[in-house]
Chain A
Amino acid sequence: DAGVTQSPTHLIKTRGQQVTLRCSPKSGHDTVSWYQQALGQGPQFIFQYYEEEERQRGNFPDRFSGHQFPNYSSELNVNALLLGDSALYLCASSLPGQNNSPLHFGNGTRLTVT
């Protein structure tokens, strides 16, 4: 049973470019959340997807957008990249409609913006 998988593992982009990160949830999970973790900091909530819709959003600009597909996998898109977007991007999935279920994280995508 595969856990949460993220791709790519590492990515280098230039300021102003756009990036797409991908996440496949753990089998049986339908809710996907995305987090940004800057170096030395705790993760910050970006948004959560459930039933192919954005259900909740953290304090991130509109340059951060996402999508969830019918198979529950999800994408995080960041436009007009800034140096400050360099971070580890984590995806977590959870059981259907259960916010208070154990958390399952992927290994993250490390994005470097130069």
Chain B
Amino acid sequence: KNEVEQSPQNLTAQEGEFITINCSYSVGISALHWLQQHPGGGIVSLFMLSSGKKKHGRLIATINIQEKHSSLHITASHPRDSAVYICAVRSDKLIFGTGTRLQVFP
């Protein structure tokens, strides 16, 4: 069993839909990161969380330390949100999930 599990693996949505991506982990962590990876390969850091909730524009990230679970929400999704979203946790090292591939259609 992977130490970081993401769901769903693939997600398609119509423009404007509300999207949720989930991340569960099984190790003790000091922080959790949500990352966005576009087809070219470059990775952009969206959030770093150790507790509670953060919001940036249409993106919201939450974490529940007791349940070892985090969610990334995208409100009013847009085709430019199409990318792979990766959850990574910091324990003794950085451990990545396998990513959620999101496609948003106009």
Total residues of chain B contacting the partner, CB 8 A: 24
Q: B98 an interface residue at 8 Å Cβ cutoff? A: yes
- Tell me the bound Cα distance from A40 to B94 in angstroms: 18
Q: B95 an interface residue at 8 Å Cβ cutoff? A: yes
- Point out the residues of chain B lying under 8 angstroms from A105, CB to CB: 35, 42-45
Q: B50 an interface residue at 8 Å Cβ cutoff? A: yes
- Point out the residues of chain A lying under 8 angstroms from B92, CB to CB: 56
Chain A-chain B contacts (Cβ-Cβ < 8 Å), number: 62
Q: Which residue of B is nearest A110, CB measured?
A: B41
Chain A interface residue count: which class?
Answer: 20 to 34
- Point out the residues of chain B lying under 8 angstroms from A35, CB to CB: 94, 96
Contact (Cβ within 8 A) B41 A108: yes
If A99-B30, A100-B50, A102-B48 touch, whether A42 touches B42 (CB-CB below 8 Å) is: no
Among candidates A42, A45, A99, A110, residue contacting B99 with C-beta atoms closer than 8 Å: A42
Please list the 4 inter-chain residue pairs (A to B) with the smallest Cβ-Cβ separation, ordered nearest first.
A42-B96, A107-B42, A105-B43, A108-B41
